Amino acid sequence: MAAKFRFKFRFKRLGLILVLVPTIILLGILLLEGFLSIQSYQQWKSWDREIHIVERNELLGTLTNLFTVGTDKKAWESRLKLHPLFGYVYRQGEGEVNRFGFQTRYDFRSCESGYCVPGADGEQGRPFVVGIFGGSLAHMVGEQADKLEQLIGGWLKGRTVRVINLAAGGHNSTISQQVFSYFREAFDAVVFVDGIHEIWSGQENNKAGWLPDGVRLSHFEHLIRTADWGEEEIQKAHEIIEKRQALADLTRSTLKGFWKHSLLVHRIWGILGAQLMRDLVRLKGELPKAEGGEAFFAGSDRELFKWLAQRWALVHGDISAVAESLGIIDLHYLQPNPHVPNSKALTSREDHILKYSFPIRELVIQAYNEFQTAAKQSSKRVTIHDLSKLYHGEGEEIWRDGLHPNDRGLEILLERISSDLKSSLLKPAKAKARWR
């Protein structure tokens, strides 16, 4: 009887423990969640948890774009191939890529005057060809070729419009000038959107002992450095891949289900992810670097930025002179950027996103004034439109990271390009380009 009683008591106690322990854990989680919610509100003045989800999504997007070695996980640089004239272009199979390595559905063919873009079967006359040049922002414009063609076609009557994407992530004005010069006979209008890579890539290249206004070192180097790697370097590269994959898997797991809104999950992710990031930094530091070490040009960053700005304006002036001699409409833009002082009142979410985006804030603050000044000083040779204030009056969210606008921001940029192109065609000196 006593044994039976003891058994029932132990069974009840076990049942009580099974109920109490999860209840205590659940209460503890709820208390922690409440504490973190109050802490978050004090920092952001909002109960919205979307900013924390955005942070994790941004990191996940970055991780999926980093280079890999020996795996089928495609990195951004793995989409590229070396090019004898343009530094690098896109590989075949990376979306719609023409024979020359640019992500556009249109191709060039040889004609009597050089290159041309043929019209489609059944089209009357020669198409009105618009080339888009620059880095990743210009590439985003080129990816919206259909929309830009519709905008231009809305006011340009009598010609079929072809918008050709000749931009690539990391390209600067020096590379764009080479691309334009090579295909120049094919265009009726050309659009250049740049400025950031003259600053960002220019400083990085110079520090590594590479030509500051040359092709972006971090992309170009990736395509050539692995050729000299031995077994040890390849093993380290695989370790980097494993760490990145672990961090990506951890991040992805926190973005599933209802718990993606949990601040406690976000905090745990931050602790575990920080350790993985430290491992990644250590392993990357052990990989061989590009040759060099001494700066290509000695002097301060301020002096470098002033020189880069003058070179940038000079390149655009040369492009404009060639375009004018051929009757080509040419539009030149200093691209917008959220870090330019007083360019836009950032939303709390934009402000949060920029803290985890590209590390260019101080560079932009230091250098953009030099580029704005260079654009004004070159006004007799070329009109460079400063788009720093393009989003100045926008109260809604525009920036998805420190370089690129969201769909709304891109739509505003497309409308601006279409409007400026229309205005340029109405000028008597340029009107001949419409029917050339």
Return d(Cα 80, Cα 162) in angstroms, integer.
Answer: 24
Query: Which is more confident, 294 or 300?
Result: 300
Confidence of residue 73 (pLDDT cuts 50, 70, 90): very low
pLDDT surpassing 60 at residue 342: yes
| Residue length of the chain | 436
Q: What is the pLDDT of residue 71?
A: 40
Residue 116 DSSP class: E
Q: Which amino acid is at 129?
A: V
Burial class (CB in 10 A: 0-12, 13-18, 19+), 28: exposed
Average pLDDT over residues 405-417: 96
Nearby residues of 203 by Cβ (< 8 Å), 6 or more positions away: 212, 301, 304, 305, 363
Q: Of 176, 199, 138, which is closest to residue 370 (Cα–Cα)?
A: 199
Confidence of residue 222 (pLDDT cuts 50, 70, 90): low
Per-residue pLDDT tens for 163-221? 999 999 989 999 999 999 999 999 999 999 999 999 999 998 888 888 888 888 766 66
Return d(Cα 227, Cα 101) in angstroms, integer.
Answer: 22
Q: Of 177, 143, 127, 13, which is closest to residue 436 (Cα–Cα)?
A: 127
Residue whose token pair is 């040009």? 297
- Which conformational region is residue 409 in: left (phi greater than 0), alpha (psi within -120 to 50 degrees), or beta? alpha
Whether the Cβ atoms of residue 319 and residue 191 lie closer than 8 Å to each other: no
The per-residue DSSP string of 363-429 comes to: HHHHHHHHHHHHHHHTTTT--EEE-TTTTTT--S--BSSSS-B-HHHHHHHHHHHHHHHHHHHTSTT
Q: Which of 175-179, 242-246, 248-252, 396-400 has the highest mean pLDDT?
A: 175-179
